Amino acid sequence: MMLFKLAFKNIKKSVSDYAIYFFTLVLGVAIFYVFNAIDSQTAMMKVSESTRDIIDLMLNMLSGVSVFVSFVLGFLIIYASRFLMKRRNKEFGIYMTLGMSKGKISKILVVETFLIGLLSLVVGLVLGCALSQVMSVIVANMFEADLTEFTFVISTNAIIKTIIYFGIMYLLVMIFNTISVSRCKLIDLINANKKTETIKLKNPYLCIVIFVIAVVMLGYAYYQVTANVENLRETWQVFLPIGLGAVGTFLLFFSLSGLVLRVLQHFKKFYYKGLNSFTIKQFSSKINTTVFSMTVICLMLFVTICVFSSCMSMKNAMTSNLQELAPIDIQLLKTKNIPR
């Protein structure tokens, strides 16, 4: 029971540390619910037959995308929990010097994850229910549906799906935590704070080369999908620029910090003026350590912006198309009978 108390106390006392993690989880749950609840949100709308077909198509796509979303969320959650674990290395070190077994430490972590998970699920679902009402208004607006019979809808299906998916994610987090606890050495835990982050000084010439390559790759990718778009005939041809763009973004961030530092250090007058040296070093070390997550964030933003804008324009194009093709409500055609 002491373990349980300890776990609970830890969460309570380190609220600030946990707040970001908790917030991430709540948002994740809410978004996931909203995504999966569109299904039942749209069911009540009065829409025409053809629109219903489009909606069904959209729902099919959404269920596929929700798997992707759950993967992204899963990575995010595991990443966040690892970050939290690292901050607590010293604490685990103290537990172990006092003779707590690794099994017990894992148990504390499991209890903590469970508590946080449960709380975030509840809060996230409540938030999700509220958000999905807003979402249904947007969707209805998009399909010009009749919203006179608007009711507050709670999708049990989506709730169950969310609980199952997040349950699996939390289970994964628990397993990951247990593995990393069982792997760590006491001497590293105790000295965790004393160890400074190893600053890998990258070779400046290599940085320049990589930077140039990254710029070329990005430039080529964007040229392919914008100015040269007429030459894109096959579907597979799209993947090349996408791949190049992704790798290019990563390499850009990879080489950026080293390059910027090198270049700015050359201008001694600027570098040693005021707090410049401090700011630049901080900036470059931040980029250095978070290359991967920055790349992912950039790509995600890119995807979001593209998908959002193209969806909106697609919808507009389709409705205007419809207007043009069918300017009137009923059209009767009579073809002349040609005698043989």
Q: By CB under 8 A, which span of 2-10, 113-121, 148-156, 229-237 interacts with other proteins?
A: 2-10
Give the DSSP per-residue string, 58-109.
Answer: HHHHHHHHHHHHHHHHHHHHHHHHHHHHHHTHHHHHHHHHTT--HHHHHHHH
CB of 179 to other proteins, least distance (A): 16
Residue closer to other proteins, measured from CB, 82 or 90? 90
Question: Of residues 4, 13, 201, 307, which one binds other proteins by CB under 8 A?
Answer: 13
Q: How many CB atoms lie within 10 A of CB 169?
A: 24
- How far, in Å, CA of 127 to CA of 26, rounded? 8
- Contact characters 64-93, other proteins, x per CB under 8 A: --------------------------xx-x
- How far, in Å, CA of 279 to CA of 119, rounded? 39
- What tokens were used for 312? 């909106």
Give the DSSP per-residue string, 186-205.
Answer: HHHHHTTTTSPPP--PPPHH
Residue closer to other proteins, measured from CB, 6 or 260? 6
Beta bridge partners of 46: 146
Question: Of residues 186, 206, 209, 312, which one binds other proteins by CB under 8 A?
Answer: 186
| Residue 23 vs residues 15, 27, 111, 121, 173: alpha-carbon distances, Å | 11, 6, 19, 11, 16
Give how many residues touch other proteins by CB under 8 A.
Answer: 22
Q: By CB under 8 A, which span of 4-12, 249-257, 258-266, 332-340 interacts with other proteins?
A: 4-12
CB of 293 to other proteins, least distance (A): 27
What backbone phi and psi angles, to 5 degrees, belong to 146? -80, 120
- Contact characters 92-121, other proteins, x per CB under 8 A: -xxxxxxxxx--x-----------------
Residue closer to other proteins, measured from CB, 187 or 333? 187
Residues 6+ away with beta carbon under 8 Å from 19:
none
CB of 123 to other proteins, least distance (A): 23
Does 22 help bind other proteins (rule: CB under 8 A)?
Answer: no
Residue closer to other proteins, measured from CB, 62 or 190? 190
**Which residues in this chain contact other proteins in the complex, by CB under 8 A?**
2, 6, 9-10, 13-14, 90-91, 93-101, 104, 186-187, 190, 193
